[in-house]
C-alpha cells in the first residue's frame, strides 16, 4: 500500500512541477504575485501605523489593537486570490491551448492529474502569501515593535492555507466542467461570493477578538475542501473533457429529463403516490434521521440560551392571554381564510428559501434555517420554565395543535433539501452533473408536492382555527 501511495504521489508531483514551471515563465502570473508579496505588505504596514496613530490620538487604542491582526489576515488572503485565477485556467486553458489531449493521453491516473493540477494552482500563491505575512510581520516589528502571539500566527497561517485549498478545489471543479476560460471565469462567482462573505465574517470575529471561533471556521473549511475535492474527482472524466465542444444550455432536454424523473414509471395519481412512497421517500431514511436530530439540537440549544438571555418573567403570566391572542391575530390579519392563506404562504416561502440556500451549500444552510424556528420554540420554552411555568403546558397549547402537522412537514422538507444539496456528491455512474442534479431536483419536487405541501395546508388551517381555541381553553379568554 505504501508503494502504491508513493507511485500516486510521484505522478501528482510530476503534473504539479510541469504546471509550476509554466507559471514561472509567465510574467502575467509572476507580476501580481510579486506585487502582492512585497509591496502590499509594506502598504499594510503604513496603514497599520497610521491607524494606530489616529486611534491613539482620540483615545481608542483598542481599535488599533484589533486592526493590526485583521490586516495580517488580509495580507495573507490577497496573494492566494491569484490561485483562483490559475485554477480556473487549469483544464479549460489547456483545452484552449490544444495541450489537453496529450496530457490526458498519458498513463497517469485521474487522481494524479486532478490533484497535480490542484497542487500546482495552490503552491506558488500560497508560498507568496506566507512570504507576504513574514514581510508584514517584519515591518511591524521594525516600525512599532509589534509581534504576533504564537496562537494567532498559527491561526492565520492555517486559515490562509485552508482558504486557498477551498478556492482551488472549487475552481478546479469549475474548470474541469467547462470548455473555455471565459465560461470558467463567469462561473467563478460561485467561489468568489462565498469567500467574500467568509472574509466579512472573519473580520467581524477578529474585530470582536473572538479568535477561538477561527478554529471552527478552519474545521468547516477543511470539510468543504474535502467535499469539493471528492466531488471534482468523481466528476472528472477524460472522455467528456475531450468530446465536449461547447457549453450549451439545452432547456428542452433539461425539462424532459426533469419530467421523466418526476413522473417516474407511474400511470395516474395513485400509482405516482405509491411510487413516491416506495422509492423517493424510502431513500430519505438517513436524511430524515439527521433532520430529526438537528431539530432536537436546535430546540435544546434554544432552551440553553434562555439561561443566558432571560426575558422578564411577567411576559409569561398568561392568565387571560387567550383574549390578547385573539387581538394579536386580528391585528396581523391571521384570522379566518385570509389568515390561513397568509400562514401557508409564509411557511411555503420559508421552505423555498431553505431549498435555495441548501441547494448551493450541500444542504447545510437549509438545515440551519429550518433549525431556527425550533431554537426559538426552545428559547421561549426555557423562559417559561425560568418564570415558573410548565414547558409541557406551553408546548401542548401553543405548538402541538398545528405542530403535529408542521413539524413532520419541516422534517420531510429538510431531508429532501439535504438530499438535493448533496446531489453533486453522489452522481450516479454514467450521468453528468446536470443530469444527476435534475434527478435530485425532481426527487425534491416529488416529496414537496406529495407530502410537504399537503401537511403545510393542514398545519396552517389548524394554526388559525384550532390553536387559538386550545390556548383559550388552557389560559382563559
- pLDDT beyond 80 at 372: yes
> How many structural domains comprise the chain?
2
Vertex 462, ends 456 and 464: CA angle to 5°?
Answer: 105
| CA count, 13 A, side-chain hemisphere, 108 | 24
> Could you give the CA distance from residue 460 to residue 468 in angstroms, rounded to a whole number?
12
- pLDDT beyond 60 at 123: yes
Render pLDDT for 89-106 as a digit per residue (tens, 0 to 9): 777 777 777 666 676 777
Per-residue pLDDT averaged across 290-318, rounded?
83
Secondary structure of the chain as H, E, C letters: CHHHHHHHHHHHHHHHHHHHHHHHCCHHHHHHHHHHHHHHHHHHHHHHHHHHHHHHHCCCHHHHHHHHHHHHHHHHHHHHHHHHHHHHCCCHHHHHCCCHHHHHCCCCCHHHHHHHHHHHHHHHHHHHHHHHHHHHHHHHHHHHCCCCCHHHHHHHHHHHHHHHHHHHHHHHHHHHHCCCHHHHHHHCHHHHHHHHHHHHHHHHHHHCCCCCHHHHHHHHHHHHHHHHHHHHHHHCCHHHHHHCCCCCCCHHHHHHHHHHHHHCCCCCHHHHHHHHHHHHHHHHHHHHHHHHHHHHHHHHHHHHHHHHCCCCHHHHCCCCHHHHHHHHHHHCCCCHHHHHHHHHHHHHHHHHHHHHHHHCCCCHHHHHHHHHHHHHHHHHHHHHHHCCCCHHHHHHHHHHHHHHHHHHHHHHHHHHHHHHHCHHHCCCCCCCHHHHHHHHHHHHHHHHHHHHHHHHHHHHHHHHHCHHHHHHHHHCC
> Could you give the CA distance from residue 107 to residue 105 in angstroms, rounded to a whole number?
7
Smallest CA-to-CA distance from 191 within 199, 179, 180 is with: 199
Task: Look up the domain containing 196 and give its range.
Answer: 2-243
Smallest CA-to-CA distance from 104 within 176, 169, 171 is with: 176
Considering the domain architecture, whether residues 184 and 97 belong to the same structural domain is answered as yes
pTM flag (> 0.75): no
Considering the domain architecture, whether residues 70 and 211 belong to the same structural domain is answered as yes
What mean pLDDT is reported for the chain? 78
> Could you give the CA distance from residue 83 to residue 94 in angstroms, rounded to a whole number?
16
Per-residue pLDDT averaged across 128-150, rounded?
82
CB-based contacts of 385, cutoff 8 Å, min separation 6: 303, 306, 391
Boundary residue ending a domain (190, 217, 243): 243
Q: What was the pLDDT predicted at 409?
A: 93
Considering the domain architecture, whether residues 447 and 403 belong to the same structural domain is answered as yes
Smallest CA-to-CA distance from 299 within 196, 404, 370, 390 is with: 370
Render pLDDT for 319-371 as a digit per residue (tens, 0 to 9): 555 555 555 555 555 567 777 888 899 899 999 988 888 877 777 778 888 88
Considering the domain architecture, whether residues 227 and 292 belong to the same structural domain is answered as no
Judge whether 175 and 91 are in contact, CB under 8 Å.
Answer: yes
Q: What was the pLDDT predicted at 456?
A: 94
- pLDDT beyond 80 at 295: yes
Comparison of pLDDT for 449 and 312, the residue scoring more:
449
Q: How far is CA 333 from CA 228, 300, 423, 464, in A?
A: 46, 31, 40, 10
Render pLDDT for 185-216 as a digit per residue (tens, 0 to 9): 777 777 777 787 788 788 788 777 777 888 88
Per-residue pLDDT averaged across 253-270, rounded?
80
Considering the domain architecture, whether residues 36 and 101 belong to the same structural domain is answered as yes
Render pLDDT for 439-451 as a digit per residue (tens, 0 to 9): 888 889 989 988 9
- pLDDT beyond 70 at 27: no
Q: What was the pLDDT predicted at 432?
A: 65
Q: What was the pLDDT predicted at 374?
A: 92
Considering the domain architecture, whether residues 311 and 379 belong to the same structural domain is answered as yes
Boundary residue ending a domain (219, 243, 267): 243
Considering the domain architecture, whether residues 165 and 238 belong to the same structural domain is answered as yes
Confidence of residue 457 (pLDDT cuts 50, 70, 90): very high
Judge whether 439 and 431 are in contact, CB under 8 Å.
Answer: yes
> Could you give the CA distance from residue 304 to residue 382 in angstroms, rounded to a whole number?
7
Considering the domain architecture, whether residues 200 and 224 belong to the same structural domain is answered as yes
> Could you give the CA distance from residue 361 to residue 353 in angstroms, rounded to a whole number?
13
Q: What is the dihedral of CA 207, 208, 211, 217, to 10 degrees?
A: -80
Q: What was the pLDDT predicted at 408?
A: 93
Q: What was the pLDDT predicted at 52?
A: 63
Per-residue pLDDT averaged across 255-262, rounded?
84
Share of the chain above pLDDT 70, in %: 81
Considering the domain architecture, whether residues 320 and 214 belong to the same structural domain is answered as no
Share of the chain above pLDDT 90, in %: 7
* In the block, residue with C-alpha cell 485552508: 162
Comparison of pLDDT for 390 and 193, the residue scoring more:
390
Q: What was the pLDDT predicted at 282?
A: 81
Boundary residue ending a domain (243, 260, 290): 243
Render pLDDT for 154-187 as a digit per residue (tens, 0 to 9): 888 898 889 888 888 888 877 777 767 777 777 7
Q: What was the pLDDT predicted at 232?
A: 77
Considering the domain architecture, whether residues 306 and 261 belong to the same structural domain is answered as yes
Render pLDDT for 39-78 as a digit per residue (tens, 0 to 9): 777 777 777 666 666 656 655 555 556 677 777 788 888 7
Considering the domain architecture, whether residues 220 and 356 belong to the same structural domain is answered as no
Considering the domain architecture, whether residues 21 and 154 belong to the same structural domain is answered as yes
Amino acid at each position: 500500500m505504501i508503494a502504491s501511495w508513493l507511485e500516486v504521489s510521484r505522478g501528482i508531483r510530476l503534473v504539479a512541477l510541469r504546471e509550476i514551471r509554466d507559471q514561472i515563465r509567465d510574467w502575467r502570473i509572476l507580476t501580481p504575485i510579486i506585487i502582492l508579496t512585497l509591496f502590499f505588505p509594506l502598504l499594510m504596514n503604513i496603514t497599520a501605523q497610521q491607524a494606530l496613530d489616529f486611534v491613539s490620538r482620540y483615545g481608542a487604542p483598542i481599535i488599533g489593537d484589533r486592526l493590526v491582526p485583521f490586516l495580517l489576515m488580509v495580507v495573507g488572503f490577497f496573494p492566494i486570490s491569484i490561485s483562483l485565477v490559475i485554477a480556473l485556467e487549469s483544464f479549460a486553458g489547456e483545452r484552449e491551448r490544444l495541450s489537453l489531449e496529450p496530457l490526458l493521453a498519458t498513463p497517469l491516473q485521474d487522481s494524479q492529474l486532478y490533484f497535480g493540477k490542484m497542487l500546482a494552482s495552490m503552491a506558488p500563491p500560497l508560498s507568496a502569501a506566507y512570504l507576504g505575512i513574514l514581510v508584514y510581520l517584519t515591518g511591524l516589528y521594525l516600525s512599532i515593535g509589534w509581534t504576533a502571539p504564537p496562537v494567532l500566527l498559527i491561526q492565520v497561517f492555517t486559515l490562509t492555507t485552508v482558504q486557498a485549498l477551498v478556492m482551488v478545489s472549487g475552481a478546479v471543479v469549475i474548470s474541469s466542467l467547462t470548455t473555455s476560460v471565459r465560461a470558467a471565469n463567469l462561473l467563478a462567482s460561485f467561489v468568489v461570493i462565498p469567500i467574500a462573505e467568509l472574509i466579512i465574517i472573519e473580520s467581524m470575529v477578529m474585530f470582536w477578538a473572538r479568535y477561538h471561533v477561527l478554529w471552527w471556521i478552519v474545521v468547516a473549511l477543511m470539510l468543504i475542501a474535502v467535499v469539493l475535492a471528492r466531488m471534482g474527482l468523481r466528476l472528472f472524466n477524460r472522455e467528456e473533457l475531450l468530446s465536449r465542444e461547447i457549453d450549451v444550455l439545452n432547456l428542452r432536454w433539461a425539462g424532459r429529463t426533469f419530467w421523466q424523473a418526476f413522473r417516474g414509471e407511474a400511470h395516474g395519481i395513485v400509482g405516482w403516490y405509491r411510487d413516491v412512497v416506495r422509492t423517493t421517500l424510502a431513500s430519505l431514511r438517513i436524511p430524515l434521521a439527521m433532520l430529526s436530530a438537528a431539530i432536537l439540537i436546535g430546540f435544546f440549544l434554544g432552551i440553553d440560551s434562555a439561561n443566558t438571555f432571560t426575558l422578564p418573567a411577567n411576559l409569561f403570566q398568561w392568565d387571560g392571554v387567550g383574549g390578547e391572542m385573539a387581538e394579536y391575530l386580528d391585528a396581523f390579519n391571521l384570522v379566518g381564510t385570509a389568515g390561513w392563506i397568509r400562514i401557508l404562504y409564509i411557511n411555503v416561502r420559508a421552505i423555498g428559501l431553505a431549498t435555495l440556500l441548501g441547494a448551493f451549500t450541500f444542504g447545510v444552510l437549509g438545515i440551519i434555517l429550518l433549525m431556527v424556528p425550533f431554537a426559538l420554540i426552545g428559547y421561549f420554552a426555557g423562559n417559561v420554565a425560568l418564570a415558573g411555568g410548565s414547558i409541557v403546558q406551553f408546548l401542548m397549547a401553543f405548538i402541538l395543535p398545528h405542530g403535529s402537522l408542521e413539524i413532520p412537514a419541516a422534517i420531510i422538507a429538510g431531508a429532501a433539501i439535504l438530499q438535493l444539496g448533496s446531489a453533486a456528491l453522489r452522481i450516479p455512474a454514467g450521468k453528468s452533473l446536470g443530469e444527476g442534479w435534475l434527478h435530485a431536483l425532481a426527487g425534491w419536487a416529488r416529496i414537496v408536492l406529495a407530502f410537504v405541501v399537503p401537511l403545510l395546508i393542514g398545519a396552517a388551517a389548524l394554526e388559525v382555527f384550532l390553536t387559538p381555541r386550545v390556548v383559550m381553553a388552557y389560559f382563559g379568554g
